[in-house]
Amino acid sequence: MFLINFRFMVVMKFGGTSVADAVCIRRVADIVKAQVERRLVLVLSAMGDTTDHLLEAGALAYHEGRVSMGAIERAHLETMRALGLGAAEGEIVPLLEELRGLLSGISRIRELSRRTKDYLLSFGERLSVRIMAACLVSLGMRARAFDAWDLGFVSDSNYTSAEIMGESWRLIPERVLPLVEEGTLPVLTGFIAKDAGGVITTLGRGGSDLSATMAAAACGAEEIQIWKDVDGILTADPRIVKNAKPVETVTYEEAAELAYFGAQVLHPRAMQPCMKTGTPVLVKNSYNPAAPGTRIVPSPEKGALPVRAITSRKNISLVDIVSTRMLGQYGFLAEVFSSFARHRISVDMVATSEVSVSLTLDTVNDLSVLKEELSRIASVELRKGKAIVTIVGNVKRSSEILARAFRTCEFLGVRVQMVSQGASKVNISFIVEDTEAEEVVRALHIDFFDRLELPESEGGGGTE
């Protein structure tokens, strides 16, 4: 009865490493074919490191006046040939010509504004979707490549880091759903959009995740799958913790927090559209499709461990600002933060008392002017070489988490220099020395994850 209007639809997003070459693209085609009955929309990144290569080509044209795009051209044409898609080159060659024209323009007028950069970077995704669509068609699927702007992605004009505009919530389903209903499999560029004036924009590095979650949320998809080159969101950075393992489920907030704190799994803003609609997200590994992956859901699962993952960020500066005015002086914090805002320095962690504030920043910032400005009202002390260790998990259990974390630090002889429990309710962060961070992360990982692997009922038996 009412089922007629019920739309099954799944959005699948494949990142650069998942579509890096002909072998990868074939692997993706198999993954797509296995689920094609579910009515799919694909969102793709540029192939491999194409975005970086485009940036390099742009810099070369701009600084040295040279046009060099041989590697980009070769990678795309060779991939097509290896896939037996020579006949579809007609779609790719004009784009490569347009790119050559742009690079030679940049080399002649020596202009590479943020706006031009976005136009330049757009070629990566525009090329990859056309190759993928041709490959799917060659395997008998009714795929068709689309540029994001043809399917309703409108952004503001904040080039290199544009925001998708509200009207896209209406425009995307208006364009996408009729295609899906007539049996077309749209293969859509991630990362890019056009502003109201029709100028190409990008959503910031890694932005295809956001394109995909936006498409899924706006179309009311039943699920979005984000295909990466790891088995899901991991409990820690595998370069630091060798036995880091995929987390079964996390909440949107936890995933967003992990993205922000440097677990390079998702774009920091990617969870926002899904949070509005409750669309479930599945993070999967295109190199290992059989692995269950990580499910991102609205609220924590019952019986979940207190901690989801542990991350760290190095090269942090700790700034102590102590008011030199009278105790209880109001407006002190306001003055401090407006100084930071004026100098466009972004602050991560903050701890305050009435007359002092400690905060953390990335060490890349130059603080000399700010320090001079603040010296009217405060003494400012800067300490470099710090790291933020972040425990993402269920903050309702913060007492337990903090107790265990502090016990671990004490055991290691590591002094915790500042603590903050994020307003996000899912993160507990603290500052240690840069040189201590990895050891702390490893020890915390043992405490929160590895111990629990001991078979409880068998009293640790098991000789296998």
List contacts with ligand ASP (CB under 6 A). 15-16, 45-46, 51, 124, 190-191, 205-208
Q: Which residue has the tokens 């409750």?
A: 278
What is the C-alpha R_g of the chain? 25
Is residue 45 a contact residue for Mg ion (CB under 5 A)? yes
Q: Which does 208 bind (CB under 5 to 8 A by kind): Mg ion, ligand ASP, none?
A: ligand ASP
Cβ atoms of 50 and 96 within 8 Å: the answer is no
Binding residue count for Mg ion, defined by CB under 5 A:
3
Selected range binding Mg ion among 13-21, 73-81, 95-103, 430-438, rule: CB under 5 A:
13-21
Q: Give the DSSP letter of residue 235.
A: S
Interaction partner, residue 155 (ligand ASP, Mg ion, none; CB < 5-8 Å by kind): none
List 42's β-bridge partners, or say none: 12, 187
Q: What's the min distance (Å) between Cβ of 379 and Mg ion?
A: 45
Nearest approach in angstroms of CB 185 to Mg ion is: 22
| Min dist. Cβ of residue 124 to ligand ASP (A) | 5
* Residue 124 binding target from ligand ASP, Mg ion, none, CB below 5 to 8 Å by type: ligand ASP
- CA 247, 252, 254 angle in degrees (round to 5)? 55
Interface region with Mg ion, contact rule CB under 5 A, candidates 16-24, 144-152, 241-249, 327-335: 16-24
CB of 128 to ligand ASP, least distance (A): 9
Q: Exposure of 207 by Cβ count < 10 A (0-12 exposed, 13-18 middle, 19+ buried)?
A: buried
Contact of residue 191 among Mg ion, ligand ASP, none (CB under 5-8 Å per partner type): ligand ASP
Looking at residues 50 to 69 of the shown chain, list those that interact with Mg ion (rule: CB under 5 A). 51
In the sheet that 185-189 helps form, which strands lie side by side, from edge to edge? Answer: 143-146, 185-189, 40-44, 10-14, 223-228, 281-285, 294-297, 249-251
What's the Cα-to-Cα distance from 184 to each of 9, 122, 178, 204, rounded to whole Å?
Answer: 12, 24, 9, 29
The CB-of-283 to ligand ASP minimum distance in angstroms stands at 14
Residue 164 carries which DSSP code? Answer: B
The residue among 147 and 254 lying less far from Mg ion, judged by its C-beta, is 147
Nearer to ligand ASP by C-beta: 208 or 420? Answer: 208
Rounded to a whole number of angstroms, the minimum distance from the CB of residue 69 to Mg ion is 17
Shortest gap between Cβ of 84 and ligand ASP (angstroms)?
Answer: 25
Instruction: Count Cβ neighbours within 10 Å for each residue of 224-242 and write b for 16 or more, e otherwise.
Output: bbbbbebbbbbbbbeebbe
Closest listed residue to residue 200, CA positions, set 282, 119, 296, 301: 119
Q: List the single partner that 207 binds among Mg ion, ligand ASP, none, CB under 5 to 8 Å by kind.
A: ligand ASP
Nearer to ligand ASP, 124 or 280 (CB): 124
Of Mg ion, ligand ASP, none, which one sits near residue 261, judging by CB under 5 to 8 A according to partner kind?
none
Nearer to Mg ion by C-beta: 190 or 232?
Answer: 190
| Residue 16 binds to Mg ion (criterion: CB under 5 A) | yes
- Greatest C-alpha distance within the chain: 78
Q: How far is the CB of 209 from ligand ASP (least distance, A)?
A: 6
Tell me whether residue 113 or residue 264 sits nearer to ligand ASP (CB atom). Answer: 264
Angstrom distances, CA of residue 246 to CA of 109, 284, 429, 453: 49, 10, 21, 14
Residue 148 contact partner, candidates ligand ASP, Mg ion, none, CB within 5 to 8 A by sort of partner: none
Does an H or E element contain 101, and which?
Answer: helix 89-109
Of the candidates 50, 51, 99, 54, the residue with the CA atom closest to the CA atom of residue 79: 50
Binding residues for Mg ion (CB under 5 A): 16, 45, 51
